[in-house]
Amino acid sequence: MGTIRFREVVKTYPGKQPVIALDRVNLDIGEGEFVALLGPSGCGKSTLLNLIAGFEEMTSGALSFNGGTVDSPGPERAVVFQEAALLPWLTVEQNIAFGPSVQKRPRAEYEPKIRELLRLVGLERFAHSLPSQLSGGMRQRVGIARALVMDPKALLMDEPFGALDAQTRMSMQQLLLDVWQSLGTTVLFVTHDIDEAILLADRICIMSARPGRITREITVDLPRPRSVDQLTDPAFIRHKAAIMAEMREAQKEHA
């Protein structure tokens, strides 16, 4: 269970000159599907994610999660933020435990799970460190563990690796691939990195800016399980060339 459906969704920000962030967006994401939203900054891809996360309200249209309406944030739609957004006064362990603890789940249930997740993201030794003592990549690992501990039906990831250096980004992509391939959660992944979108996603939705629209949908039929080694595969390069051509075309159409 983790289907997402956008129907003719419009989001405008009022003001002297109202900004149309999203213009009649249609998008269907199936159970267990990994969809990447690819586009330049300011194209509304984060707005799209914020709507399904329940952080913002759409102006018109219909939006559903698992067939139900979305009116507030909730643990079944876990968000991984660009800068991790960990609470700086809590240790790594306390940050991961925040969700289960506010949901008043029994400690005996979530504590073993946190230990398991810490191992999964390679941070056992840092359970009692503060976020400020971690590197950017480690912080984002905590952000992912914090989302996974809630057993979400969908993972909403807003450029989670955008602020990381190339090497760290690759190891995070591999980590995400491994985790997702074993869990099979629905993922909506916002990025402006073409390689990242191809490597991770089943399907790539290309967005254009002003007004924000999904202009192309491309299915990535690279076999799974994938790994970052495939970044140099001929098949990968072919995909990339095709996507770049589509993006150029889309840009021309919307210029």
Which residues make up the interface to another protein (CB under 8 A)? 53-55, 72-75, 77-79, 81, 83-89, 98-99, 102-103, 130-136, 139, 146, 150
Place of tokens 């590197």: 135
Give the contacts of 14 (CB within 8 A, at least 6 positions apart): none
Q: Which is nearer to another protein, 131 or 211 (CB)?
A: 131
- Calculate helix-pair angle for 166-183, 136-148, nearest 10 degrees: 10
The minimum distance between CB 6 and another protein, in angstroms, equals 19
The minimum distance between CB 75 and another protein, in angstroms, equals 4
Burial (0-12, 13-18, 19+ Cβ within 10 Å), 224: exposed
- Taking the C-alpha atoms of residue 155 and residue 108, their distance in angstroms, rounded to an integer, is 25
Q: Which is nearer to another protein, 90 or 228 (CB)?
A: 90
Q: Which is nearer to another protein, 90 or 231 (CB)?
A: 90
Q: Could you give the strand order of the β-sheet that contains 19-29, starting from the edge strand earlier in sequence?
A: 19-29, 4-13, 60-65, 68-69
The minimum distance between CB 86 and another protein, in angstroms, equals 8
Q: Which is nearer to another protein, 97 or 177 (CB)?
A: 97
The minimum distance between CB 135 and another protein, in angstroms, equals 5
